[in-house]
Structure formats: structure tokens, C-alpha cells
Amino acid sequence: MKKKKNFRGNTLPALVMVGPVTLWLLLLVAVPLIYVVFMTFCSLDANYNLVFTFTLDNYKRLFDANYVQIYAQSLLIAFSTTLICIIAGYPFAFLIARVFTKKKAILYMLVIIPFWTNSLIRIYGWRTFLGSSGWLNNMLTKLHIISEPAEFLFNRGTIILGMVYCLIPYMILPLYTAVEKLDKSMIEASKDLGAKGPATFLKVILPMTASGIFSGSIMVFIPCLGYFFVADILGGGKSDVIGNLIERQFQSGNNWPLGAALSVILIAITLLLVKIYQICGGDMENLGV
Amino acid sequence: MEEKKIIVEIKNVNKVYQGTNAVVKDLNLNVYEGEFLTLLGSSGCGKTTTLRMIAGFEDITSGTILVEGENIEDKEPFERNVNTVFQTYALFPHMTVFDNVAYGLKIKKKPKGEIKTKVMEMLELVQLGGFEKRYPSQLSGGQKQRVAIARALINQPRVLLLDEPLGALDLKLRKQMQLELKRLQRKLKITFIYVTHDQEEALSMSDRIAIMNDGILQQVGTPVEIYEQPATRFVASFIGETNLFDGAVSSVDGDKVSVSIESGVITGKGTDFKVGEMVAVSVRPERIKYSVRPVEGFTVPAAVKEQVYVGSVLKTIVVLPNGNEIRIERLAGEELPAEGMVYLYWKDEDAKIIHSFDNNIFAAIDNIQLA
């Protein structure tokens, strides 16, 4: 074997450096992952205990109409969230990177600081804010815009709002990087050659920052499928995402094999999206890979 | 020579960036149709800023710039009949060579057939035929530069602005591109305004050179004028090598001007000087003659310090009694003695008298007092 030769003489230091990380990855990533995949082929006995009798039932159940509906809903929520994040995040990223360059640090911090607070707490904050006796309802009633508290919570729109709120930094940061990397002389060259603002944007700025939009979209879309707590807290269990399904199987449903199968599906979707991203020429480094 | 038509007129232009000093100070400059004008100066002298004001990338703080008699102040870059070749090439990386060059015509929504013919013509002109399907990342520096030039020329600008376009190329390629740019300019008869900090490049390519220092235009003239009749100390020392003597005018007789310097009186040529005025005298190294014996008339004794052989010429440094060093250049083969005393002399017309109102006036005063 060729590889063995390269180890010659350097095995000990190499082991010391790479060993702990490898061990960590093995024990905490690879082994659990293999166990999850293994579980999908198991079944439950009468007492809901995991027993290994090979079955494909868990995968068959994934095509249950109720589940398919939730996948569709989850994808819809993820698409909408991603789209809103692009539309809202692009101008902001552009402003930080190119217009308010002197206030760059402050604006950048505005995006980063919420990161430092637990997102669960922040989502509860939204619930309090939007609730029937929440701040928004109170204010609107006092201003006599509405006569009685309106129901802002527990619909798909609120879930999307929460998702956008949680995930928009993941869109803004790669966009910011892409826009900032754009050489000013490209924009000048376009104008110099006769293009006005909109043409310059469409023909030069947008294609040259597409990689940022692309990696931002991946980084928003994928977590969006799994952020069950947002759907739980703001959706009140009415509009679930794939994450909710999985969570329920492992907790109240007590059906680990089915939960594992759902997880595998989620992983498969994620890998598929990343593969598409890679095929389309996306920079893997932007995803932190 | 036929009447020259002014194509770009820069009048009393100032540029001040917020919170900094003026970058361009009261600039007045006319550019004639069809000429190759170089803005020359070291970095930060305001040459690029001037170019960018003509292109429309920088606002003019005060003053006016006219292109073909029209004030361009309120015109956006895309409304001006000038195009720019950028220092970094600024080729669009997501477009092929063809699409890069076609960009200007596509924006103008020209018919496809016309675009194709013109782009191919342009690529042929810059000797890049057959490269149209490549992307900028697949080109060498010199090729990128050609694409940038083709892209800027396809709009048939009245004036082409070039911002240190050869700065990133290696020496050999740079020399080759210099010749080619000059050839293109002669062929197309488009006015070129060329920014560089490389004096050799400026001398070899330009019809006229405008030298700037610290935001102030020092002199405009043909390469020969600039070299032979430097208007300021800065120009004399920036273009080629020279020896400068500071002093004060002691007498004026027609265009003969005598200047008292520390070690005697130098007579040189110059007009418009007053007795008592602080001046500098510039004598080029290759104009200095020497003798091992004292000569009649004006002469300066000096000791040979160092000789450097650089192929075609021999550079010698000699030291004056006051410790100042003088540089002399001789063709190889007519060496100075390697050591000992020599007597330097030169023709009156090789001593150029220069107004010394700029930065080094204190040095001049010091010399007078010593004398």
C-alpha cells in the first residue's frame, strides 16, 4: 500500500496531532450516524423497545400522505424563508459592504450580536411580542387601530417570520463577503462602457455575487427544514416542519426507528442540496466545508 | 504644423477629499486631439485622480473640465465619450473575452451581427484573434491587458484614458506593450491620456508629458523639452539624473544668466530671471566634461570617488571640495582616471537655470550664506 509508506517515521507526531480530532469525530459523529442508519432498519416490540428484526417498514411509512404533506409544507416554508432572506439581506449586505463603509463595523455587529443570544429565547421573545396580550396587540388596541386583540401567532406566516429572523445572518454574512470582494473597478468599468445602474447591477454585480446568494441560500434553506422549535413556539403545532416530525418520534411518539428514518431523509435532502450547489460551481469553503 | 484642436480642457481644477489636503491644486491643462499625453508623477501626485475626474469616477471640487467643448461635470461616466483602461484590467470574470469586449455594444443594444464583426475586428487589432471563447482567468497578464484595451476602444471613444495599464506586467512584456500601444494610438488616431510613474515609459511613448508633483502641475512639454528645459527643480531631478546647484542670480545679460553658488559662479542659459532670485542650476551627468589638468574659463576641481560600469555607459561619482557629490556619465571607453583630481567643466548652454521657488529654497539660502 502506498499510503503506509508516507507514514514512515512520522507516525507518532501525526497521531498526536490528528488522533484526538479523529477520535472525537469517530465517537461523536460517525458512530451515532451509523447507529441512526442502523436504527432505521429496526422495529419496536409491544413495549416500545427497540429490537433488531430487519424491516423496511420505517421507510415505507415515510410515504404516508400526512408526512408527505408536511414535507411539502416544510419545503414551502424553507423556500419562502430563503427568498425573503435574499430579498431583505441583499440590500443590507450591499449597504454594509459598499455604501456605509465607515459604519461597517457597527452594522456588521448588528447582524452578529443576536447570534450571541440563544435563539430559543429570542423566539420566545417574538411569542411574547406577538401574543394576544403582547406588546403589539396592546399598542394597536390603545391606538384604536383594532378593537380586540388580533391573532398574530400560530400560522405559517409567523413561522416564516421566525425562521427569517433566526436565519437571516446566515444569508447576510456570505452575501457581505461576496459583495465586499467585488472590485470597485468592475462597477466603474461597467459604467464607463455605457451601462447605467440597473444594467450594471444585473450584468455585473449580481452575477459576480451569485456565489454569495447561493451559499447563503444553502445555509438558510437547510436549517429551515429542521428548526422545529420555531414551528413549535410560533406555529403552535399547526404547521410543522420536518424537524417537528423527527422530534415527535423521538419524544412523545417514542418511535425511534421512524424518527431515525426521517432523519436519514433530512440528511439525504441536505446532501443533495450541497451536491447541487457544488455542481453549479459553488465554493465549498463558503459553507465552512 | 497644422492648427491643433483642443479636445480636453482642464480649467482651474481642484480636488479636495474630505478631511485631507488638496490632491489636485489649480490644474490647467489642454489636451489636443489625437495626441498621446502622459500624466507623469510619483504615487500620490494627483495624476490618477485627474484621470478619474475626466472619466467621471471622482467629483470635481472646483473648476471645470470640458471634453469637446462640453462641460462634463454633471455627466455620469456612461454619458461621457471617454473610456478607461484600468490598472487592474477590471475584466468581468464571468464573461468570455468576446462578451467582455462586446459589453459596451451590447449595452447600446447594437444588432448581433454588427457586434460580432466589430468584436472580431477589435480582437484582431490587439492581436487576440482566436481567444474570444476564453475566460479572463485563462489569460496571461499581457493578454488581459489587450482585452481591456479592446473593450475600451470598441465604443470608439474620443479620448482613451489609461491608468498605469502596464504596471502589473514584467519589464520585457511592458516594453513590448509600450510599442504596441503607441502603434495602436497612431493607427486609430484616438487621443490617449496615459497615467504612469515610470519616466522612461513616459519619455518613449508620449507626444507630450505633463509632470505633476504633490497635486501641482510642474511642466507640460514634449519629452525633449521636459528633459532639456526642466521648468522646476522637481522636473529636473525626476526626469533622468542630474546635478543640481543652488544659488542666487548675480547678473543677467540677455539669456545669459550668472549664478553665484558656493564654489563660484556658473553661467547658464535661461530667460525671465531677476538678479538676486534664488535659482537652481541643473547639469546633466552626460554633459559634464573633465580634464586631468586645469582648464581655462569655468572649471570645478573634484576628486574621483567611485566608478560603476553599467554596460553602455560608465557612471562616475566625483566629490567637490565642499563634499557635494557630482555624477558624471561617459560612454564606456572614455573613462575618467580611477583616482586623483579632475577638473570638471561644461558648456554654458548645458547649465539650465531653474526657478527655485519650490520646496528647496532653504537649501539655496544656506548656500548663499556659506559663499
**Residue that wins the pLDDT comparison between A43 and B149:** B149
Q: Looking at the predicted structure, is the pLDDT value of residue B151 above 60?
A: yes
Domain of B56? 6-228
Q: Residue B37: which pLDDT band, with cuts at 50, 70 and 90?
A: very high
pLDDT cut 90: percent of chain B above it: 23
Give the distance, in angstroms, between the CA of residue A149 and the centroid of all CA atoms in the same chain: 32
Q: Quote the minimal CA–CA distance from B151 to chain A in Å.
A: 8
* pLDDT, tens digit, 9 for 90 and up, residues A73-101: 888 989 999 999 999 999 999 888 888 87
Residue B235 in domain: no
**Residue that wins the pLDDT comparison between A229 and A80:** A80
Structural domain count, chain B: 3
Q: Looking at the predicted structure, is the pLDDT value of residue B210 above 90?
A: yes
Among B88, B152, B155, beta carbon nearest to A185: B88
The C-alpha cell that represents B100 in the structure block: 467582455
Chain A residues within an 8 Å CB radius of B90: 183, 185-186, 188-189
Calculate the alpha carbon distances from B150 to B122, B261, B334 in Å: 6, 54, 48
Partners of residue B258 on adjacent β-strands: B251, B267
Chain B contact for A196, CB < 8 A?
yes
Which residue stretches of B110-265 are H helix? 112-125, 141-153, 171-188, 199-205, 223-228, 233-238
B208 plus B323 within the same structural domain: no
Model-level ipTM above the cut of 0.95: no
How far is Cα A246 from Cα B262, in angstroms, rounded to an integer? 95
Residue A90 in domain: yes
**Residue that wins the pLDDT comparison between B170 and B208:** B208
How large is the average pLDDT for residues A20-27?
A: 90
B42 plus B175 within the same structural domain: yes
How large is the average pLDDT for residues B263-276?
A: 80
How large is the average pLDDT for residues B61-71?
A: 89
**Residue that wins the pLDDT comparison between B290 and B207:** B207
Judged by CB atoms closer than 8 Å, whether chains meet at B92 and A204 is answered as yes
Q: Looking at the predicted structure, is the pLDDT value of residue B2 above 70?
A: no
Residue B233 in domain: no
Relative to beta strand A43-44, strand A50-51 is: antiparallel
CATH code, domain with B246? 2.40.50.100
Judged by CB atoms closer than 8 Å, whether chains meet at B77 and A188 is answered as yes
B89 Cβ neighbours under 8 A, 6+ residues apart: B136, B144, B145, B147, B148
How large is the average pLDDT for residues A114-126?
A: 84
Q: Residue B36: which pLDDT band, with cuts at 50, 70 and 90?
A: very high
Residue A219 in domain: yes
Q: Beta-strand (E) ranges in chain A?
A: 43-44, 50-51
The closest of B68, B70, B332, B39 to B195, measured between CA atoms, is: B39
Cβ distance B345 to B295 under 8 Å? Answer: yes
B92 plus B207 within the same structural domain: yes
Q: Of the given ranges (A2-6, B2-6, B88-92, B167-171), which has the lowest mean pLDDT?
A: A2-6
Chain B contact for A193, CB < 8 A?
yes
Long-range CB pairs of A34-37, under 8 A, 24+ apart, other chains included? A36/A260, A36/A263, A36/A264, A37/A260, A37/A264
Chain B contact for A199, CB < 8 A?
yes
Q: Residue B194: which pLDDT band, with cuts at 50, 70 and 90?
A: very high
**What average pLDDT does the structure give for chain B?**
85
CATH code, domain with B152? 3.40.50.300
Say what the pLDDT of residue B360 is: 46
Q: Looking at the predicted structure, is the pLDDT value of residue B279 above 90?
A: no
Say what the pLDDT of residue B359 is: 45
Judged by CB atoms closer than 8 Å, whether chains meet at B78 and A204 is answered as no
Domain of A206? 65-287
CATH code, domain with A244? 1.10.3720.10
Chain B contact for A178, CB < 8 A?
no
B186 plus B276 within the same structural domain: no
Residue A72 in domain: yes
